[in-house]
Amino acid sequence: PRPLVIAPSILASDFSKLGEEVRAVDAGGADWIHLDVMDGHFVPNISYGPDVIKALRPHTKKIFDAHLMITPCDPYLEAFAKAGCDHITVHAEAGPHLHRSLQAIRALGKKAGVSLNPSTPLNVLDYVLDLVDLVLIMSVNPGFGGQAFIPSAIGKVQDLRAMIAGRPIDIEVDGGVGPNVAGPLAAAGVNAFVAGSSVFKGGTTESYRSNIAAIRNA
């Protein structure tokens, strides 16, 4: 089994003090920092891009887990790599050349991830699994934090776990994740838990620490 990790999404943090927020979740026990990049085109919201990520890089040594909700993505992969992202995850739905995108991420020396929207079947992974380090199962429709968890993600994770058959691939889930769904998700095969609003509620390092611990203990 892959190591269990908690990846707070800074989309739910206070954007007026992003560096401080990253240091606070680092101190509170975050394993990875989840970075949601939105373009107002692939998803109906706009967040931040590589320059903001680059500015955050000196604030922590934790893994930068970038989730690109942008199309096209290929022209920007190098910028995200240079900004300090360790994982670069692209959406299977974001373009016709998923295989090429994954090859490009690996060629940049980064871990390559594929994210699937709630309605996207697992079979889009059939011929790319050897290029994948991480699969991100969306448990909300991407674009916004604070949405309700979609329960069909649990069965999808179970099917994905069978499909990856022991390969060294992280199974990550994103959207509506908190202590109430972390247990069933872990049992289904998730090892990496993205959480935005459930981590950042409270607004202090101490609350982040207890919120992260609550997910980990679930």
The residues, any chain, with a CB within 8 Å of residue 118's CB and separated by 6 or more, are: 138, 139, 140, 141, 150, 152, 153
Name residue, tokens 């690109």.
68
Nearer to ligand DX5 by C-beta: 11 or 105? 11
With CB under 5 to 8 Å by kind, the binding choice for 176 among Zn ion, ligand DX5, none is ligand DX5
Binding mask 166-195 for Zn ion (x = CB under 5 A): --------x---------------------
Binding mask 55-84 for Zn ion (x = CB under 5 A): ------------x-----------------
Ramachandran sector of residue 84 (left: φ over 0; alpha: ψ -120 to 50; beta: rest): left
Nearer to ligand DX5 by C-beta: 162 or 200? 200
Q: Residue 156: which of 139, 168, 179 has the closest Cα?
A: 139
Contact between residue 67 and residue 37 where contact means Cβ atoms under 8 Å apart: yes
Query: Among all residues, which ones are annotated catalytic?
Result: 36, 174
* DSSP assignment letter at 147: P
Q: What token pair was written down for 196?
A: 């935005």
The Cα–Cα gap between 144 and 93 comes to: 17
Q: Which residue's CB comes closest to ligand DX5? A: 196
115 appears as a binding residue in the annotation: no
Which chain residues interact with ligand DX5 by CB under 6 A? 9, 11-12, 34, 36, 67, 140, 142-143, 145-147, 174-177, 194-198
Nearer to ligand DX5 by C-beta: 84 or 143? 143
Binding residues for a divalent metal cation are 34, 36, 67, 174
Binding site for Zn ion (CB under 5 A): 36, 67, 174
